[in-house]
Amino acid sequence: MIVILDGGPQTTVQDLGRFGQLRYGIPPSGPMDRDAFVLANRLAGNADGAAALECTLIGPRFEVHARCAFAVTGAEMPVTINGTPAPRWTTLIAKPGDVVKLGVARAGVRSYIAFSGGIDVPEVLGSRSTYLRGGLGGLEGRALRKDDRLVLFAAALPGVSRIEAVADYAAEPEIRVVLGPQADRFTPAAIETFPASAYEMLPQSDRMGARLRGPAVAHTRGHDIVSDGTALGSIQVAGDGQPIVLLADRQSTGGYTKLATVCSFDIGRFVQVKPGRSVRFRAVSVDEAHRLLREHEVALGMRSSGR
C-alpha cells in the first residue's frame, strides 16, 4: 500500500485505456504520453498496461507501506526519497516508511509513476483509467488527494534497470501529421502556412484537447460540418482559425472541420509541451506515417531492453 500525503494539482490512476465505449460517449482516457507510461511499467517489472499514476506539472508526495519497486518517467520532475535525490528513468526500490516526492516539472508536463505489481483499483467498463469529466475509473473517478490509500498487486521485485529518456522535453518539437479528413475545406495558403508556422500551447489545454495559438488557418466554405467521429490527434479548426488537437479524454464526435491528424507516435511528445511553449508541425503521407510508426515501435522496444 501507498498513502498519499499530497496529491499535487492533478494526479490520476491510468492504465492503457478504456476501449469500445466511444459509441456511448465515453472516451478511452489512459495515459497522455503512452511511451513514457509503458516504459515506467517495464522498469517496474510490469506488463505494459498495469495501472500507474499520471502526474501533471507537479507530482505527488506519498509514503510507502510495503517494500516495492517503482519507476518515474516522463516530464523532468525531480524525485526524492526521504529528501535524497533519486534518478528518473530507472528502477528504484522503496522500503516501508519511505517518503517519495516529485517536484515541479522543469521540462515537460506529465510524469508517470509505476509500482511493481500495478495499482489495484476496480475496473470500470474494462479499464482502471480515470475519466475525470465522467467521474469514473481510477480512485472514485477523481484526482488523488491527501490521505488516499492505494493498494498494489503482489509481485516479485524486478532487477534494477535504467533507460534513456524518450525525448528532450525542453526542445521545441516537430510533430508529424497526416492531412485530412477535411483538408479540402481549407485554402491552399492555409495548408502551406500551418506546417510552416510555430503554434503556442495555451493554458486552457487539458486531457480533452490542446488549444493552440498562431497564424489563423483559413477555411474555404466555413468551419462547420455535419458532426462525425473524432480520433486521437484530430486537429479541429474552429471559426477563429485556431487549431485544437483532440486527446485522450476527447468527445466522440465533433462538428468542426478537421485539418489533419497527429501521428500516434508523436502524441506523447506533443502533450509534453508546456503552456507558453511552441510546437511546429510537418505533414507526412500515410505510407510515411506507417513506416515511421514501425521505426518508433522498434526504437521503443530497444530502449526497454537496454540496447
Q: Please write down the HEC assignment for all residues of 109-163.
A: CEEEEEECCCECCCCECCECCCECCCCECCECCECCCCCCEECECCCCCCCCCEC
Same domain, 110 and 41: yes
Same domain, 190 and 140: no
CATH at residue 233: 2.40.100.10
User: By C-alpha distance, which of 266, 208, 255 is closest to 27?
Assistant: 208
Query: For residue 207, is pLDDT > 70?
Result: yes
Same domain, 120 and 191: no
Task: Cite the beta strand spans of the chain per DSSP E.
Answer: 2-6, 11-14, 52-56, 61-64, 68-74, 79-81, 84-86, 92-94, 99-102, 110-115, 149-150, 174-179, 198-201, 209-213, 224-229, 234-237, 243-246, 253-262, 278-283
Averaged pLDDT for residues 10-34: 96
Q: pLDDT confidence of 307, banded at 50, 70, 90?
A: very low
Domain that holds residue 255: 174-304
Same domain, 103 and 142: yes
Q: What is the pLDDT of residue 224?
A: 74
The answer to whether position 299 is within a domain reads yes
Q: Degrees (nearest 5) of the Cα angle 120, 42, 118?
A: 5
Q: pLDDT confidence of 305, banded at 50, 70, 90?
A: low
The answer to whether position 282 is within a domain reads yes
Q: b/e per residue, 250-272, with b = 16+ CB within 10 A? A: beeebebbbbbbbbbbbbbbbbb
Averaged pLDDT for residues 35-60: 97
Query: For residue 306, is pLDDT > 70?
Result: no
